[in-house]
């Protein structure tokens, strides 16, 4: 059998197993070898790496991961894909474990401890776009030992992750991602690279986790509640936005004093602040 990246092979497998695409799982299988190569290059997979792939589909990318990495764990939520993976497309690979699990419910820390001695892993994923951000944020917030995450996302989401202060794409997601990792858009992917074709353009983004966070805060939760409050009220000044959402905890006067302490003018809007300034403000409060 050839590589599944050939659309003919993909159609053959889907027909053989009478596979029906599930809308709720947002299934779009990659059928373009150039895109696949860009993902592998961005993920920087080597022979010593332990890789967790989220959403292997029929195993198109998994084949290439197994040939490059020391060990691969593929986590697939759709039970209808498990026989395809284990009995057919990936049965030749001995360095692979296929799990029929929901990644949001899987104890990834325990898995890494048992299978990789708690050492850092690399994550590769092609996910339904509505669930990409929750999964990435969970991987960050649970402090899973990860070196990098290479993921296919909606193009505009990738741009939001990479955006800087004062731009229209800059928001709470930009700051959250950049607090944990360094984002890099590796490729833009047109709709015709998938089967079936999605309705949106996609991008491959690599998130390289920081060895040390770019800012130090004593209360991460507080910093992120300030960030969310300021972007919930984009059109308001930062003071009014924070007062609207956090007025029960902090008076307007306390917020103004904190801004003054940080040397931030009271007419500023949240979208103009850097991550460092949000961290300073959080400490001042």
How does pLDDT run across 144-203, given as a tens digit for each residue? 999 999 999 999 999 999 999 999 999 999 999 999 999 999 999 999 988 888 888 999
CATH number, residue 262: 1.10.8.100
Do 79 and 194 belong to one domain? Answer: yes
Q: Please say if the pLDDT value at position 45 is more than 90.
A: yes
pLDDT tens digits for 203-245? 999 999 999 999 999 999 999 999 999 999 988 999 999 999 9
In a shared domain, residues 245 and 174: no
Residue 203: its pLDDT value, please?
A: 96
Is 47 contained in some domain? yes
One domain for residues 194 and 227: no
Mean pLDDT of the region 44-60: 95
pLDDT score of 1: 44
Which domain-ending residue is among 168, 189, 209? 209
- 2 occurs within a structural domain: no
Q: Are residues 76 and 36 in the same domain?
A: yes
Residue after which a domain boundary falls, among 209, 238, 271: 209
Same domain, 257 and 125: no
Does 146 lie in the same domain as 278?
no
Domain final position from 143, 174, 209: 209
The answer on pLDDT for 2 being more than 70 is: no
Per-residue model confidence (pLDDT) at position 3: 61
Shared domain check, 260 and 139: no
Domain membership flag for residue 180: yes
Domain of 260 in residue numbering reads as 220-284
Same domain, 12 and 114: yes
96-120 residue pLDDT tens: 999 999 999 999 999 999 999 999 9
Q: pLDDT category, 4, cuts 50, 70, 90?
A: low
- Whether 215 is covered by a domain: the verdict is no
Instruction: Specify whether the CB–CB gap between 200 and 187 falls below 8 A.
Output: no
Question: Taking all residues of the chain, what is their mean pLDDT, rounded to a whole number?
Answer: 93
Residue 114 lies in a domain: yes
Q: Can you give the CATH number for the domain in which 119 is found? A: 3.40.50.150
Number of domains, the chain? 2
In a domain, 103, yes or no: yes
Asked if residue 225 and residue 159 are part of one domain, the reply reads no
């Amino acid at each position: 059998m050839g590589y599944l990246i050939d659309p003919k092979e993909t159609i053959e497998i889907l027909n053989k197993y009478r596979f029906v695409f599930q809308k709720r799982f947002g299934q779009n299988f990659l059928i373009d070898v150039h895109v696949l190569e860009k993902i592998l290059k961005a993920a920087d997979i080597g022979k010593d790496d332990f890789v967790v792939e989220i959403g292997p589909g029929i195993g198109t990318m998994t084949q290439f991961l197994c040939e490059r990495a020391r060990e691969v764990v593929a986590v697939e939520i759709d039970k209808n894909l498990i026989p395809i993976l284990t009995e057919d497309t990936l049965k030749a690979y001995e360095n692979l474990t296929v799990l029929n699990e929901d990644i949001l419910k899987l104890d990834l820390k325990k898995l890494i401890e048992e299978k990789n001695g708690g050492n850092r892993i690399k994550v590769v994923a092609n996910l339904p776009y509505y669930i990409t951000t929750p999964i990435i944020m969970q991987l960050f917030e649970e402090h899973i030992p990860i070196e990098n995450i290479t993921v296919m996302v909606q193009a505009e989401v990738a741009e939001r992750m990479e955006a800087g202060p004062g731009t229209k794409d800059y928001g709470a997601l930009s700051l959250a991602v950049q607090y944990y990792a360094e984002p890099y858009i590796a490729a833009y992917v047109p709709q015709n690279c998938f089967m079936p074709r999605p309705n949106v353009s996609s991008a491959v983004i690599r998130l390289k986790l920081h060895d040390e966070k770019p800012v130090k805060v004593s209360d991460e939760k507080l910093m992120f509640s300030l960030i969310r409050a300021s972007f919930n009220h984009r059109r308001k000044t930062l003071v009014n936005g924070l007062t609207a959402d956090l007025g029960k905890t902090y008076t307007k006067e306390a917020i103004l004093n904190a801004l003054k302490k940080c040397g931030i003018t009271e007419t500023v809007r949240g979208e103009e602040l850097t991550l460092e300034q949000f961290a300073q403000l959080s400490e001042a409060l």
